[in-house]
Amino acid sequence: MIDLYYWTTPNGHKVSIFLEEAGLEYRIVPVHIGKGEQFAPEFLRIAPNNRIPAIVDHAPADGGEAIALFESGAILEYLADKSGQFLPRETRACFGVLQWLYWQMGGLGPMAGQNHHFLRYAPEPILYAIDRYVKETARLYGVLDRQLAGREYVAGDYSIADMAIYPWARGWQMQQQKLEDFPNMAAWLERIEARPAVQRAYALVEQVNADPQALLSDEARRLLFGQ
Ligand SMILES: N[C@@H](CCC(=O)N[C@@H](CS)C(=O)NCC(=O)O)C(=O)O
């Protein structure tokens, strides 16, 4: 059994998508980041960076004691290794996937995250910051779009790279992007969205989070951005 410490945000969805795709047994432990639950000492013992997602695998493959992990990229690699799915073993194919996973972790995730911050959460509009992150998001989607030309998935077969990128890319509208500029990405978004496991992962949102706007409250902003 795997415990998934989760909230209904893009980084949380990466892991719920994997678990649904792989059919691994898991249970959700909600961590309401708008209420400050990410600062609870018992969560910090698992995730010292006070961010979701995190997992605890109570039945690791080596039969040893439970394994706790934070950072969505490391979690995806771990689960791929454990299940033997969504990350090829062969060196070229494996690193073909991993370079796109790290592109998401070091590029699209942080840049789109700042895009969300300055467009949605900042107390006043800072035009330079908005322009910078909207443009950088567009540049990154241009890179993704070119990679997807003539390909169904980001790197070979459907993989943890697609699972890491999709939850951020599906927010293109909020990020002030024009989907018609990225036709290959648009087709790929449709392909991923149509997957039953992806639909099951997003269906969890309503069960876990009754108020998706809660992160916009003054208290949530103070907790999230006053650290
Ligand atoms: N690099 C981390 C980023 C995780 C992250 O930023 N999580 C956000 C939600 S998407 C969070 O938990 N925020 C809580 C906070 O800022 O206190 C990962 O990919 O796991």
Rounded-to-integer distance, Cα 153 and Cα 155, Å: 6
Nearest residue (by CA) to ligand 1, atom 5, is 51
Nearest residue (by CA) to ligand 1, atom 12, is 51
Q: What is the pLDDT of residue 211?
A: 86
In the reported structure, the alpha carbon of residue 150 is separated from the centroid of ligand 1 by a whole-number distance in angstroms of 33
Which residues does residue 111 pair with via DSSP β-bridges, in sequence order?
Answer: none
Nearest residue (by CA) to ligand 1, atom 4, is 51
- Residues in Cβ contact with 176 at an 8 Å cutoff, skipping those fewer than 6 apart: 115, 119, 134, 137
Rounded-to-integer distance, Cα 18 and Cα 3, Å: 13
pLDDT per residue of the chain (227 residues) written in tens, 0 to 9: 999 999 999 999 999 999 999 999 999 999 999 999 999 999 999 999 999 999 999 999 999 999 999 999 999 999 999 999 999 999 999 999 999 999 999 999 999 999 999 999 999 999 999 999 999 999 999 999 999 999 999 999 999 999 999 999 999 999 999 999 999 999 999 999 999 999 999 999 989 998 878 888 888 999 999 88
Q: What is the pLDDT of residue 213?
A: 81
Strands (E), the chain: 2-6, 26-30, 54-57, 67-70
Which residues contact ligand 1 via a Cβ below 6 A?
Answer: 9-11, 33, 38, 50-53, 71-72, 224
Phi/psi of residue 54, nearest 5 degrees: -145, 160
Q: What is the pLDDT of residue 61?
A: 94
Q: Give the residue from 19, 1, 5 showing the smallest Cα distance to 200.
A: 19
In the reported structure, the alpha carbon of residue 209 is separated from the centroid of ligand 1 by a whole-number distance in angstroms of 16
Q: Determine how many CB atoms are found less than 10 A away from the CB of residue 124.
A: 4
In the reported structure, the alpha carbon of residue 78 is separated from the centroid of ligand 1 by a whole-number distance in angstroms of 18
In the reported structure, the alpha carbon of residue 8 is separated from the centroid of ligand 1 by a whole-number distance in angstroms of 11
Q: What is the pLDDT of residue 79?
A: 98
Q: What is the pLDDT of residue 216?
A: 83
Q: What is the pLDDT of residue 212?
A: 77
In the reported structure, the alpha carbon of residue 53 is separated from the centroid of ligand 1 by a whole-number distance in angstroms of 7
Q: What is the pLDDT of residue 180?
A: 98
Rounded-to-integer distance, Cα 140 and Cα 143, Å: 5
Q: Give the residue from 63, 48, 33, 147 showing the smallest Cα distance to 101.
A: 147
